[in-house]
Structure 1
């Protein structure tokens, strides 16, 4: 009797990191490095509409979008359904990349792949956590999910290293090592990493230290607000308004992202905040048809729609009669 042949397992890479750390940039870098392989992506965003899915390099990469909540807590059944769709894809992928919501607890997602039925087809190879060193120290104190993401990671990518001094970068690395003494730590800018890190299990940057035993608080109090604007937006005015708002409400507003139109006949601009910085850049590629009007997602705690509406109204281009 011949042995039963099981299909080769799909490699799974779970990408985590708090809001604005640079997960999508890292993902695009990995997809470029693995473009000769079959890849599928699952995008989970904390918000009603998907912005990051439009920023993923989709050449030869089908993308499944999940925007109904945090993948770690409220989407268990939906995630299982998506995994079934991956198995039924016309071409079974070599790799599955999951970009989790910025407030996700990766422990719950990783547990799913330890389920015997799921583990028969998928192999969770590595959990990656991307961090922004310019804000990490504050967010570890304020946001419980940041510590959870660090503690669960096999590879911690300290992105945007040029934003801080070498001495402070070393301090951040030691802080990270305090929370997770077993993960590899990689320092980079602009998410530039090679696919070799996906198979490298040896830490090469800092000596290991004991894990810090700490109390991790209750589930996050964050919420997202979607603002839609039908009129053209002055991007310079919006840049000024968002910069001022982040400066005044840094501990309340954690992330802003979206697509805006400055002209009805032009391509849109991508709006993203990273820590205290605001970036507005031209959208590359064909404009998504689902964005016929400007849409901005605000993520934070105790957000007030009225104050955000007032800020956006100051940026609307008023047509002169």
Structure 2
């Protein structure tokens, strides 16, 4: 079997599982846990981050397959053509049992699913100047499930925000993005249940039941779920999905980059010097600036151990991840995501916490 217009062989249709969810919901943690359970399977991983540096890809555990990074854009709009080409490359060069895709935190599931269900012409996608035609993936892959991961502890503070999304002509709020991520999911993972108030969890279950009664709801703490609950489920139904009003509306929509639509910026902090633990504690006592929605990466505390930094909203967790493979290469690297970020202020705050 060969792709149209090509002599390159590719395997039978490969299932694709897509992980969506707002910033900090726990997609990378869930992905890592899934990969620990897939020994012997040929799993390709694609990680998408709208920032110029893809921190998420470096936080994914090692796999037998190379991790494909798609950065500085979102695969549900500006990088849809890149996604087609990335998957085409995987299919043309490897024998695969499945493909796992982690979308950026502001990605919408519906347009991602359409990328694998329609031709580039139907998607109104054109190749970059000087490039050949975009590949069609029809018959070569199929969507197995669209999975939305929810931070059960932070969901309603985001859902209830009164401010509108900057630059959006429809004056939508962040709640509308969360609704879109929920309503098109085949599986909804209620993550971080250990941090959420029982009343919030009950309300969240009711919201999912009302807005998406067909979704399978799974409970998780730190993204721990059996791979069988998320992979090879066969839950995505093209006929049902394509019959939704939103499916046709999406085809006629002109996408602006999500980083513009939602008014989000990114800022990268790097340091070769290790942090002084006491100085860092003092620097963070007052908390990060409120306009920082999410930050993640790893830091060097000078103890020979790489420490993961995972911050969402008001929660900041530091977790030891193991010894540095090469102590000479130990460094700190953090990406901050938020609105109207003051990079100089962030750099100043963190630089003051480094060892003298």
**TM-score scaled by structure 1?**
0.83
Contact 1:145 1:220 in 2 (8 A): no
Determine the structure 1 residue equivalent to 2:353: 315
Match runs of 1:130-209 below 5 Å: 130-142=149-161, 143=174, 144-198=176-230, 199-200=232-233
Determine the structure 2 residue equivalent to 1:111: 114
1:294 to 323, 332, 335: 332
Determine the structure 2 residue equivalent to 1:231: 273
Deviation at 1:140, TM superposition (A): 2.2
Determine the structure 1 residue equivalent to 2:105: 102
Q: 1:137 to 1:149 in 2, by over 3 A?
A: same
Contact 1:71 1:109 in 2 (8 A): yes
1:270 to 298, 302, 308: 308
User: Which stretch has the larger CA shift, 40-49 or 94-103?
Assistant: 40-49
Q: 1:111 to 1:150 in 2, by over 3 A?
A: same
Question: How many pairs are equivalent?
Answer: 297
Give 3-state SS (helix, strand or coil) of 1:35's partner. coil
User: Which stretch has the larger CA shift, 98-107 or 228-237?
Assistant: 228-237
Determine the structure 2 residue equivalent to 1:205: none
Residue 35 (str. 1) matches residue 39 (str. 2): yes
Determine the structure 1 residue equivalent to 2:142: 123
Determine the structure 1 residue equivalent to 2:66: 62
Deviation at 1:40, TM superposition (A): 0.3
Contact 1:267 1:287 in 2 (8 A): no
Deviation at 1:281, TM superposition (A): 2.2
The CA distance in 1 between the partners of 2:177 and 2:286, in whole Å, is 26
Determine the structure 2 residue equivalent to 1:256: 295
Q: Which runs of 5+ in 2 are unaligned?
A: 1-8, 120-135, 162-173, 236-243, 247-257
The CA distance in 2 between the partners of 1:88 and 1:201, in whole Å, is 24
User: Which stretch has the larger CA shift, 288-297 or 219-228?
Assistant: 288-297
Deviation at 1:288, TM superposition (A): 8.0
User: Which stretch has the larger CA shift, 135-144 or 22-31?
Assistant: 135-144
The CA distance in 1 between the partners of 2:234 and 2:206, in whole Å, is 19
User: Which stretch has the larger CA shift, 193-202 or 176-185?
Assistant: 193-202
The CA distance in 1 between the partners of 2:279 and 2:22, in whole Å, is 27
The CA distance in 2 between the partners of 1:79 and 1:51, in whole Å, is 18
Q: 1:86 to 1:291 in 2, by over 3 A?
A: farther
Q: 1:238 to 1:180 in 2, by over 3 A?
A: farther
Deviation at 1:237, TM superposition (A): 3.5
Match runs of 1:37-52 below 5 Å: 37-52=41-56
Deviation at 1:221, TM superposition (A): 1.0
Deviation at 1:61, TM superposition (A): 3.0
The CA distance in 2 between the partners of 1:239 and 1:47, in whole Å, is 27
Q: Which runs of 5+ in 1 are unaligned?
A: 203-210
